[in-house]
Amino acid sequence: MKSSKARGFVAGGAAVALVALGVVLHPWSTGATESTSSRGGGAASASTHTIHGTFDVDGGGWTPGGSCGGTGGFSDLVAGAPVTIADSSGTTLATTYVQGATATGTDTCRLSFTLTDVPTSRAYRISIGHRDGLPGISYEQLQGDGWNAHLRF
């Protein structure tokens, strides 16, 4: 049998080892938790974006401040029209609908939309209705404009 002195030494040694292990692991576990929390909040905002957009359609005969929409060959440019954003290879990143169509003057109808959870891409192409020939927008341009896209047709 081991003496109580020997058992105390072994138990004390084990306690010191566990404390030392806790000290070594504690910073890692704290760092992982902080890093995960930071990534959780930061990654969503860094890897996806909300883009607020307007699309001006020229025409005429609208009452400023009233509702409006495209006519004739532009009849697809109205409130409720589909809005799609794609990357430079044409892969769809997000979709929404035109939320509003308001005459900003007698000659201009402004369609408004918001695209959410748009992944980061080097360049974007926004389509409204069946209009997919709109000019591309770079990441830098959107970022510089505060994630606001202003288009005109």
The tokens for 68 are 């409006």
User: What are the pLDDT digits (tens) for 40-64?
Assistant: 333 334 589 999 999 998 887 888 8
pLDDT value for 82? 96
pLDDT value for 61? 80
Q: How far apart are the C-alpha atoms of 72 and 47, rounded to whole Å?
A: 40
pTM score > 0.85 for this model?
no
Cβ neighbours of 69 (radius 10 Å): 20
Residues 129 and 113: beta-carbon distance below 8 Å: no
Among the listed residues 102, 148, 91, the one whose alpha carbon sits nearest the alpha carbon of residue 125: 91
pLDDT value for 133? 63
Bridge partners of 111, per DSSP, are 55, 101
Strands (E) in 48-147, as ranges, are 48-58, 82-87, 92-97, 100-103, 108-119, 123-128, 137-138
State the chain's mean pLDDT as an integer.
74
pLDDT value for 32? 25
User: What are the pLDDT digits (tens) for 68-99?
Assistant: 988 888 888 899 999 999 998 999 999 999 99
